[in-house]
């Protein structure tokens, strides 16, 4: 008999912390950032001050940046200060020459950042960042105290045009028509691009404050001037698809059962990017995982429902410390 399986806590029983959380009003600006040398990479990193102890490291998803974690980092700061790097090619982090944009390459950069921060850490990842975080937890377990995966980019080969903020993205890198489509997309203004992203990632885009949309539009406008931004997005996108087509030991589904860190899996029921149908399998295959599925929530639960996500993360941390996770 598999004793571990019979004694595992209920998969969907996620204890929520009763700790009083900081206020998110008025709306917080992005956390201060500096450029930091991480191995041979130079990353743009936002830091959230907090007490001494186990720090948190936040890893954003495809097309995202460190600002995706502003609110959740604020809510967790009284317990754990944190760092949120812009991955190479995203936000304001210029990729070093020769960077291949594979999930493994991104994971190696984040692992070096964790070593600089001081391991082990509470590692949190969303979407592509969730896949990266899972790879680190499996391959470098000494770096990770707890793992939080928010709609991680687990393999899903079914075509779904809803994953695209603009349906033309499916044509943007095809021969012949691709150049014309890319020109059309480039003609969109930064605010229109930002609004499309929120429409894709939020179940209810009206919940996204105008001031946050201004911040996102400013970032999109700045990135439009970076010659490396569009190629980085394209190559990271293809890298995810390559990872999804990997079989056997190279598959993320093979990596997940090897993760030993206590893990919280969070998914939005209305996620149009990575289907919630992946949620139960993801939580089941990770030995110490529990699953929280949030109604009326899309792909970036940490942005759309930061308070309940914070309570769930803190609940995990508290139960891990108590030995009851």
What is the per-residue pLDDT for 108?
98
Say what the pLDDT of residue 10 is.
79
Question: Which parts of 92-231 are beta strand (E)?
Answer: 121-126, 144-150
Residue stretches of the chain with pLDDT short of 70 = 1-9, 157-188
> Across the chain, how many H-helices and E-strands are there?
12, 8
**Residues 293, 231: Cα–Cα separation, whole Å:** 34
Distance CA 305, CA 184 (A): 33
- What are the tens digits of pLDDT across the range 228-243? 998 998 899 889 988 9
Determine the Cα–Cα distance for residues 211 and 97; give it in Å rounded to an integer. 35
pLDDT tens per residue, range 263-277: 999 999 999 989 999
Residue 142 pLDDT: 98
Q: Which CATH superfamily is domain 3-160+227-322 in?
A: Alpha/Beta hydrolase fold, catalytic domain (3.40.50.1820)
Q: Which residues contact 94 (CB under 8 A, 6 or more apart)?
A: 42, 88, 226, 228
Q: Residue ranges per domain, the chain?
A: 3-160+227-322
Strands 289-294 and 121-126: unpaired
Cα dihedral sign, 204-207-212-218 = positive
User: 120: cis peptide before it, omega within 30°?
Assistant: yes
The pLDDT, as a whole number, for residue 3 is 39
- Res 157: pLDDT: 62
CA dist 145 to 122, 126, 148, 253, 318, Å?
A: 5, 17, 10, 21, 12
- Chain mean pLDDT for the chain: 89
> pLDDT tens digit string along 65-89?
999 999 999 999 999 999 999 999 9
């Amino acid at each position: 008999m598999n004793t571990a399986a019979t004694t595992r806590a209920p998969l969907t029983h996620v204890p929520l912390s009763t700790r009083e959380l900081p206020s998110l009003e008025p709306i917080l600006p992005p956390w201060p950032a500096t450029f930091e040398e991480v191995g041979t990479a130079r990353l743009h990193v936002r830091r959230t001050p907090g007490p001494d102890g186990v720090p948190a490291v936040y890893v954003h998803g495809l097309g995202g940046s460190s600002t995706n974690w502003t609110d959740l980092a604020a809510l967790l700061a009284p317990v754990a200060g944190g760092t949120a790097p812009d991955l190479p090619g995203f936000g304001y982090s210029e990729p070093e020459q020769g960077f291949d944009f594979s999930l493994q390459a991104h994971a190696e950069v984040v692992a070096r950042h964790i070593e600089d921060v001081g391991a082990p850490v509470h590692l949190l990842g969303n979407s592509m960042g969730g896949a990266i975080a899972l790879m680190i937890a499996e391959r470098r377990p000494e770096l990770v105290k707890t793992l939080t995966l928010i709609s991680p980019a687990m393999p899903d080969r079914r075509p779904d045009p809803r994953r695209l903020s603009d349906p033309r993205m499916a044509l943007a890198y095809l021969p012949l028509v691709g150049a014309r489509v890319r020109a059309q997309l480039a003609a969109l203004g930064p605010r229109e691009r930002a609004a499309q992203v929120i429409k894709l990632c939020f179940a209810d885009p009206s919940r996204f404050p105008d001031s946050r949309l201004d911040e996102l539009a400013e970032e999109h406008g700045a990135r439009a001037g970076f010659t490396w931004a569009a190629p980085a997005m394209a190559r990271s996108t293809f890298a995810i698809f390559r990872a999804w087509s990997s079989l056997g030991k190279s598959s993320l589904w093979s990596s997940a059962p090897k993760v030993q860190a206590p893990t919280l899996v969070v998914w939005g029921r209305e996620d149009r990017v990575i289907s919630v149908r992946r949620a139960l399998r993801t939580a089941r295959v990770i030995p110490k995982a529990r699953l929280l599925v949030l109604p009326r929530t899309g792909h970036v639960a940490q942005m759309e429902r930061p308070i309940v996500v914070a309570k769930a993360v803190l609940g995990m941390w508290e139960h891990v410390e108590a030995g009851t996770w």
